[in-house]
Chains A and B, each alone.
Chain A
Amino acid sequence: MKDWILRIAKLLLLVLLAAGGLLVVKGTARQVDFGKLQADVEKAMDLSDMKQGDARMLRRFYDLNAGELAHWVLYTASDNMAVEELLLVECASPEQAEQVLEAARNRKETQVKNFEGYGPEQVQLLNGCVIRRDGSYVLFAVSDRVSDIKKAYRKDLFQTERTGS
C-alpha cells in the first residue's frame, strides 16, 4: 500500500520537476545583444518629440549611476508637460536589476504626483505604462504604444533567437 503511494508521489514530483523546468526555461529572459534589443524597442516607440538622455539625466530622474549598468538607453519627452518616457537597461546582475526596477517605480510615482489633479491625460498615460524586470533586463515605457513596445521587448528576450552573449 505504502509502496505504490510513494511510487506515485515520486513520479508525480518528477513530472512536476520536468514541467516546472520547462516553464522556467520558457519564462526566463535570454541574454541578448543589447544593440538589437534597443533598436527593436525604439522602432516600436514614437521617438518624435523625445530627446535622448545622458548619464546626468539618468541620475537626475532615477538616481542611478550609469557606470554601474552594463547597457542602457533613456529617452524623455522634449516638452515639460508631456510624460512619454523610455528606459531600457541591461544590468550587471539580476540583483542590480531589482534596484533599477525600484528606481523606475519611484520615477513613475514621482511623475504621477507631479501631474496629479493637474493633468489627467498624463496621469492616465503614466498609469498605463509598462514597467518590468526580466532577469537582468528592465523596461520602463510611458507611451500610447505600450503594447507594441512590450511585444518587441518580449520578442527579443523570450524567443529562441540566440544572438550570442
Chain B
Amino acid sequence: MRQKSRQNKGRDKGQTIRQGTRMAWYVILLLILAGVLLAREGRSQKQEKSEEDFPALSWIREQEQEDVKEIEKKLNAKEQAEQIKDPAKLDRGSLKERFRNAVLVGDSVATGFLDYEILDSTSIVALRGLRTDTAGPEIEKALELAPEVMFLSIGLNDLEYCRGDSGLFISRYTARIQEIREQAPKLPIYVNSILPVLPEAVEKKPFLAQVDAFNGALESMCEEQNLVFIDNSQMFQDHADWYQKDAVHLKSAPYPLWLEQMEEAAGL
C-alpha cells in the first residue's frame, strides 16, 4: 500500500471519494444533455438518408472515341427507326446505356422508368405530383448529376392546378427553362409532350381534356425558345392496352419505346 505517497499528497480517501462522486453527478447531467442532442441528430440523420437517392457521379469521357461514337449513334438511331415498333424487340440494355449521360426530369408517369427498372436513378429525377411551379428542386438535383442532355416531361399535374389556363402553364415552364439556361447555358433541352390519357380518365377528371390544348401551347413555346419538342401522341394511338386501371398511368410496355423516341430526337 502506498501509504507514504498518500500522506505526502495530504489527501484522505474520503475527500477523494466525495470529489469523485460529485464528478459523477456532473458527468450524468452532461451525458443526459449530450444524449438528447445526439439522439435528435441521429433521428434527423436517418431522415436525410432516405432522401439521398441521387449520388453525385462523374463520368470519364473517352475524348478520342467521341467522333466514332457520334457516327455509331446516328447509325443506331437509323436502324431503330426502321425496325418495327415492338417493345419486346428493343434491347433494354443498350437503351439504358445510350441514356447514360442524359437525365429526364418528370412526374408520376415518368416514375415508371424507375419502377419498371428501365432507367437507373442516375438518369432520372421523377417525383409524383411534379408541376412546373414545384419542379425547381428536382431540376437542381438533375443538374447536379452533370448531364449532357436534359429531357423534361412535366405538365400532367399542371392541367389540374392551372385550371385550364395554358398561359400560366407556359409562363411557369418558361421560368424553369430560364433556370436551366442560367446554370447550364450549353445544355441541350428536350421537351416531351404531355402523354395522352384515355377517355375514361377524362370522364372522371374533366380537366384532362385540355391535354391537346396544353401540348399545342407547349409546341409553340418550344418554337419560340428554340427547343426540340418531342410529340409522343402518335405512339399511343390505339394502345389502350398500355394503360393501367386509372387510364392515366402506363404499364411497363410503352416505356422502352418512349425512351427510344427520346433518344432518337436527341440523336443519342
- Complex: A in contact with B (CB within 8 Å): yes
In Å, the complex CA distance between A110 and B52 comes to 15
In Å, the complex CA distance between A79 and B244 comes to 7
In Å, the complex CA distance between A163 and B245 comes to 41
A118, B251: Cβ atoms under 8 Å? no
Enumerate chain B residues within 8 angstroms of A78, measured Cβ to Cβ.
251-252
Enumerate chain B residues within 8 angstroms of A117, measured Cβ to Cβ.
129
B111, A118: Cβ atoms under 8 Å? no
Report B214 CB to chain A, min CB distance, Å. Answer: 20
Query: Which residue of chain B has its CB nearest to the CB of A117?
Result: B129
In Å, the complex CA distance between A140 and B84 comes to 42
A82, B244: Cβ atoms under 8 Å? yes
How many A-B residue pairs lie within 8 Å, measured between CB atoms?
26
In Å, the complex CA distance between A38 and B158 comes to 45
In Å, the complex CA distance between A152 and B118 comes to 36
Enumerate chain A residues within 8 angstroms of B108, measured Cβ to Cβ.
81, 118
Give the A interface residue count (CB, 8 A). 9
Query: Which residue of chain B has its CB nearest to the CB of A122?
Result: B246
Report B114 CB to chain A, min CB distance, Å. Answer: 8
Give the B interface residue count (CB, 8 A). 13
B129, A118: Cβ atoms under 8 Å? yes
B111, A80: Cβ atoms under 8 Å? yes
Report B243 CB to chain A, min CB distance, Å. Answer: 10
A87-119 residues with Cβ-Cβ distance < 8 A to B are 114-115, 117-118
Checking A82, A114, A115, A118 against B245 with a beta-carbon cut-off of 8 angstroms, the contacting residue is A82
Report A28 CB to chain B, min CB distance, Å. Answer: 35
Query: Which residue of chain B has its CB nearest to the CB of A115?
Result: B128
In Å, the complex CA distance between A114 and B129 comes to 11
> Binary interface profile of B, 114-127, with partner A (CB < 8 Å = 1, else 0)?
01100000000000
Report B131 CB to chain A, min CB distance, Å. Answer: 12
In Å, the complex CA distance between A82 and B112 comes to 12
Enumerate chain A residues within 8 angstroms of B116, measured Cβ to Cβ.
80
B128, A79: Cβ atoms under 8 Å? no
A81, B246: Cβ atoms under 8 Å? yes
Enumerate chain A residues within 8 angstroms of B249, measured Cβ to Cβ.
79-81
Report A121 CB to chain B, min CB distance, Å. Answer: 9
In Å, the complex CA distance between A82 and B252 comes to 12
Report B228 CB to chain A, min CB distance, Å. Answer: 27
In Å, the complex CA distance between A106 and B116 comes to 21
Q: Which residues in A have some Cβ–Cβ distance to B below 8 Å?
A: 78-82, 114-115, 117-118
- A-B pairs, top 9 by smallest CB distance, nearest first, are A80-B115, A81-B249, A79-B244, A118-B128, A80-B112, A81-B244, A79-B251, A118-B129, A81-B246
